[in-house]
Amino acid sequence: MGHKLVSPTEWTEYPQREFAAWFNQLEGLRSPVLVGTQNGAGIHNLAVFSSVTHVGARPPLVGMVFRPLTVERDTYQNLKETGFYTINHIPSAILKAAHQTSAKYPSEKSEFEAVGLTPEASKEAAPYVKEASISMLLQFEEEHLIKANDTIFLVGAVKELRLPEPAVFGNETVDWAELNGLVVSGLYDYHKVDHLKKLAYAKP
Protein backbone atom coordinates (compact mmCIF):
# COMPACT_ATOMS: atom_id res chain seq x y z
CA MET A 1 0.00 0.00 0.00
CA GLY A 2 1.52 3.33 -1.06
CA HIS A 3 1.72 6.14 1.45
CA LYS A 4 1.55 9.90 1.14
CA LEU A 5 3.41 12.32 3.41
CA VAL A 6 1.44 15.37 4.53
CA SER A 7 3.12 18.35 6.22
CA PRO A 8 1.71 21.11 8.43
CA THR A 9 1.98 23.62 5.56
CA GLU A 10 -0.53 21.46 3.68
CA TRP A 11 -2.98 20.73 6.48
CA THR A 12 -3.16 24.33 7.67
CA GLU A 13 -4.85 25.02 4.33
CA TYR A 14 -7.60 22.46 4.99
CA PRO A 15 -10.90 23.90 6.32
CA GLN A 16 -10.51 24.00 10.14
CA ARG A 17 -13.65 22.10 11.14
CA GLU A 18 -13.11 19.34 8.58
CA PHE A 19 -9.44 19.05 9.54
CA ALA A 20 -10.34 18.66 13.22
CA ALA A 21 -12.91 15.92 12.53
CA TRP A 22 -10.49 14.11 10.22
CA PHE A 23 -7.42 14.36 12.47
CA ASN A 24 -9.38 13.02 15.44
CA GLN A 25 -10.01 9.82 13.44
CA LEU A 26 -6.33 9.37 12.60
CA GLU A 27 -5.52 8.96 16.29
CA GLY A 28 -7.35 5.64 16.31
CA LEU A 29 -10.26 3.89 17.95
CA ARG A 30 -11.25 3.93 21.62
CA SER A 31 -14.22 2.95 23.79
CA PRO A 32 -16.82 5.69 24.14
CA VAL A 33 -18.11 6.08 27.70
CA LEU A 34 -20.85 7.99 29.48
CA VAL A 35 -19.64 10.15 32.36
CA GLY A 36 -22.27 10.61 35.08
CA THR A 37 -22.21 13.50 37.55
CA GLN A 38 -24.59 15.63 39.57
CA ASN A 39 -24.39 19.23 40.71
CA GLY A 40 -24.78 20.58 44.25
CA ALA A 41 -28.55 20.71 43.76
CA GLY A 42 -28.62 17.04 42.79
CA ILE A 43 -29.40 17.59 39.10
CA HIS A 44 -27.83 14.81 37.06
CA ASN A 45 -25.59 15.27 34.06
CA LEU A 46 -24.53 12.67 31.51
CA ALA A 47 -22.04 13.18 28.68
CA VAL A 48 -20.24 10.97 26.19
CA PHE A 49 -16.41 10.99 26.18
CA SER A 50 -13.81 8.93 24.36
CA SER A 51 -10.58 9.90 26.12
CA VAL A 52 -10.44 7.29 28.91
CA THR A 53 -6.77 6.41 29.50
CA HIS A 54 -5.13 3.85 31.77
CA VAL A 55 -2.97 5.60 34.37
CA GLY A 56 -2.40 2.79 36.84
CA ALA A 57 -3.78 -0.28 38.58
CA ARG A 58 -2.17 -0.11 42.04
CA PRO A 59 -4.09 1.95 43.02
CA PRO A 60 -6.57 1.92 40.11
CA LEU A 61 -6.38 5.34 38.42
CA VAL A 62 -8.09 6.53 35.24
CA GLY A 63 -7.26 9.60 33.16
CA MET A 64 -9.47 11.69 30.87
CA VAL A 65 -8.98 14.83 28.78
CA PHE A 66 -11.40 17.72 29.32
CA ARG A 67 -11.87 20.70 27.02
CA PRO A 68 -12.37 23.80 29.15
CA LEU A 69 -15.32 26.11 28.40
CA THR A 70 -16.86 23.73 25.85
CA VAL A 71 -19.48 20.99 25.72
CA GLU A 72 -18.06 19.09 28.70
CA ARG A 73 -18.32 22.06 31.06
CA ASP A 74 -21.15 20.65 33.21
CA THR A 75 -19.32 17.37 33.75
CA TYR A 76 -16.12 19.11 34.82
CA GLN A 77 -17.83 21.63 37.09
CA ASN A 78 -19.98 18.95 38.72
CA LEU A 79 -17.11 16.59 39.47
CA LYS A 80 -15.01 19.40 40.88
CA GLU A 81 -17.96 20.46 43.05
CA THR A 82 -18.91 17.01 44.39
CA GLY A 83 -15.55 15.25 43.98
CA PHE A 84 -17.16 12.25 42.25
CA TYR A 85 -18.08 10.94 38.80
CA THR A 86 -18.89 7.65 37.11
CA ILE A 87 -17.54 6.15 33.88
CA ASN A 88 -20.05 3.86 32.15
CA HIS A 89 -19.35 1.64 29.14
CA ILE A 90 -21.91 1.79 26.35
CA PRO A 91 -23.38 -1.44 24.93
CA SER A 92 -24.62 -1.15 21.35
CA ALA A 93 -28.28 -1.26 22.47
CA ILE A 94 -28.00 2.25 23.96
CA LEU A 95 -25.66 3.79 21.37
CA LYS A 96 -28.15 6.32 20.00
CA ALA A 97 -29.18 7.53 23.45
CA ALA A 98 -25.54 7.72 24.56
CA HIS A 99 -24.49 9.74 21.50
CA GLN A 100 -27.48 12.07 21.98
CA THR A 101 -26.00 13.20 25.34
CA SER A 102 -23.46 15.19 23.29
CA ALA A 103 -26.23 17.68 22.37
CA LYS A 104 -26.09 20.99 24.21
CA TYR A 105 -28.82 20.70 26.84
CA PRO A 106 -29.13 23.42 29.47
CA SER A 107 -27.43 22.69 32.83
CA GLU A 108 -30.79 22.39 34.63
CA LYS A 109 -31.88 19.58 32.27
CA SER A 110 -30.84 16.01 33.11
CA GLU A 111 -29.49 14.24 30.03
CA PHE A 112 -30.78 10.97 31.55
CA GLU A 113 -34.32 12.28 31.08
CA ALA A 114 -33.55 13.96 27.77
CA VAL A 115 -32.22 10.80 26.10
CA GLY A 116 -34.13 8.11 28.00
CA LEU A 117 -31.45 6.48 30.15
CA THR A 118 -31.85 5.54 33.80
CA PRO A 119 -29.77 6.92 36.67
CA GLU A 120 -28.87 4.43 39.38
CA ALA A 121 -27.59 5.80 42.68
CA SER A 122 -24.00 5.03 43.66
CA LYS A 123 -22.70 5.28 47.21
CA GLU A 124 -21.42 8.79 46.44
CA ALA A 125 -22.82 11.92 44.75
CA ALA A 126 -22.64 10.62 41.15
CA PRO A 127 -25.14 8.43 39.28
CA TYR A 128 -24.36 5.22 37.43
CA VAL A 129 -26.10 4.46 34.13
CA LYS A 130 -28.37 1.48 34.78
CA GLU A 131 -28.20 0.33 31.14
CA ALA A 132 -24.38 0.41 31.00
CA SER A 133 -22.26 -2.74 30.86
CA ILE A 134 -19.19 -2.00 33.02
CA SER A 135 -19.26 1.06 35.29
CA MET A 136 -16.79 2.67 37.69
CA LEU A 137 -17.24 5.21 40.47
CA LEU A 138 -14.30 7.63 40.68
CA GLN A 139 -13.11 10.33 43.03
CA PHE A 140 -11.24 13.34 41.66
CA GLU A 141 -7.53 12.91 42.37
CA GLU A 142 -5.56 15.55 40.43
CA GLU A 143 -5.58 17.60 37.24
CA HIS A 144 -2.95 19.04 34.92
CA LEU A 145 -3.39 22.01 32.60
CA ILE A 146 -1.97 21.28 29.15
CA LYS A 147 -0.20 24.53 28.35
CA ALA A 148 -0.21 23.94 24.59
CA ASN A 149 -3.99 24.30 24.24
CA ASP A 150 -5.57 24.79 27.71
CA THR A 151 -7.15 21.32 27.84
CA ILE A 152 -7.05 19.46 31.15
CA PHE A 153 -5.76 15.96 31.89
CA LEU A 154 -7.76 14.83 34.89
CA VAL A 155 -7.06 11.74 36.99
CA GLY A 156 -9.58 9.93 39.19
CA ALA A 157 -9.20 7.12 41.71
CA VAL A 158 -11.62 4.20 41.35
CA LYS A 159 -13.82 3.79 44.44
CA GLU A 160 -16.29 1.13 43.25
CA LEU A 161 -16.89 -1.14 40.26
CA ARG A 162 -20.31 -2.12 38.92
CA LEU A 163 -19.92 -5.29 36.89
CA PRO A 164 -21.99 -7.69 34.82
CA GLU A 165 -21.17 -11.40 34.99
CA PRO A 166 -18.86 -11.47 31.88
CA ALA A 167 -16.58 -8.91 33.57
CA VAL A 168 -16.23 -10.07 37.19
CA PHE A 169 -12.79 -10.93 38.57
CA GLY A 170 -11.90 -14.54 37.92
CA ASN A 171 -12.76 -14.32 34.23
CA GLU A 172 -9.25 -14.19 32.83
CA THR A 173 -10.58 -12.28 29.83
CA VAL A 174 -13.24 -9.57 29.92
CA ASP A 175 -15.48 -10.48 26.98
CA TRP A 176 -16.10 -7.18 25.16
CA ALA A 177 -17.89 -8.88 22.27
CA GLU A 178 -20.38 -10.52 24.66
CA LEU A 179 -20.82 -7.13 26.32
CA ASN A 180 -21.63 -5.62 22.90
CA GLY A 181 -18.76 -3.21 23.39
CA LEU A 182 -18.15 -0.35 20.98
CA VAL A 183 -15.23 1.75 19.80
CA VAL A 184 -15.41 5.13 18.11
CA SER A 185 -13.25 6.77 15.46
CA GLY A 186 -13.37 10.55 15.79
CA LEU A 187 -16.56 11.90 17.30
CA TYR A 188 -19.24 10.14 15.27
CA ASP A 189 -18.15 6.89 13.68
CA TYR A 190 -18.94 3.85 15.85
CA HIS A 191 -17.62 0.33 15.34
CA LYS A 192 -18.34 -3.04 16.94
CA VAL A 193 -15.58 -5.42 17.93
CA ASP A 194 -14.87 -9.10 17.42
CA HIS A 195 -12.29 -11.08 19.31
CA LEU A 196 -9.21 -11.74 17.19
CA LYS A 197 -6.37 -13.15 19.29
CA LYS A 198 -5.09 -13.19 22.85
CA LEU A 199 -1.31 -13.03 22.87
CA ALA A 200 1.05 -13.90 25.71
CA TYR A 201 3.53 -11.88 27.74
CA ALA A 202 6.35 -11.33 25.24
CA LYS A 203 9.94 -12.49 25.89
CA PRO A 204 12.99 -11.83 23.70
Shortest approach of a second copy to residue 164 CB, angstroms?
5
- The Cα-based distances of 169 to 12, 135, 174, 175, 179 in angstroms read 48, 14, 9, 12, 15
Restricted to residues 176-195, the positions that interact with a second copy (CB under 8 A) are: 176-177, 181-183, 185-186, 188-195
Q: Which is nearer to a second copy, 19 or 40 (CB)?
A: 19
Under rule CB under 8 A, how many of the chain's residues touch a second copy? 105
Return the H-helix or E-strand segment holding 79: helix 73-82
Cis peptide before 91 (omega within 30 of 0): no
Query: Closest by alpha carbon to 30, among 63, 61, 1, 3?
Result: 63
- Does 125 engage in binding with a second copy (CB under 8 A)? no
- Tell me which of 70, 80, 103, 121 binds a second copy, using CB under 8 A: 103
Determine the interface stretch with a second copy among 20-28, 38-46, 78-86 (rule: CB under 8 A).
20-28
- Does 8 engage in binding with a second copy (CB under 8 A)? yes
- Torsion, Cα of 61, 171, 136, 89 (10° steps): 110
- Does 77 engage in binding with a second copy (CB under 8 A)? no
Contacts with a second copy, 150-179, as mask; x by CB under 8 A: -x-x-x-xxxxxxxxx-xxx-x-xx-xx--
- Does 54 engage in binding with a second copy (CB under 8 A)? yes
- Does 108 engage in binding with a second copy (CB under 8 A)? no
- Does 196 engage in binding with a second copy (CB under 8 A)? yes
Determine the interface stretch with a second copy among 34-42, 78-86, 136-144 (rule: CB under 8 A).
136-144
- The Cα-based distances of 107 to 75, 154, 167, 185 in angstroms read 10, 21, 33, 27
| Angle, alpha carbons 51-53-54 (nearest 5°) | 165
Shortest approach of a second copy to residue 80 CB, angstroms?
17
Phi, then psi, of 25 in degrees rounded to 5: -70, -35
Query: Closest by alpha carbon to 71, among 91, 47, 55, 90?
Result: 47
- Does 43 engage in binding with a second copy (CB under 8 A)? no
Alpha carbon distance 76, 163 (integer Å): 25
Q: Which is nearer to a second copy, 40 or 125 (CB)?
A: 125
Q: Which is nearer to a second copy, 40 or 91 (CB)?
A: 91
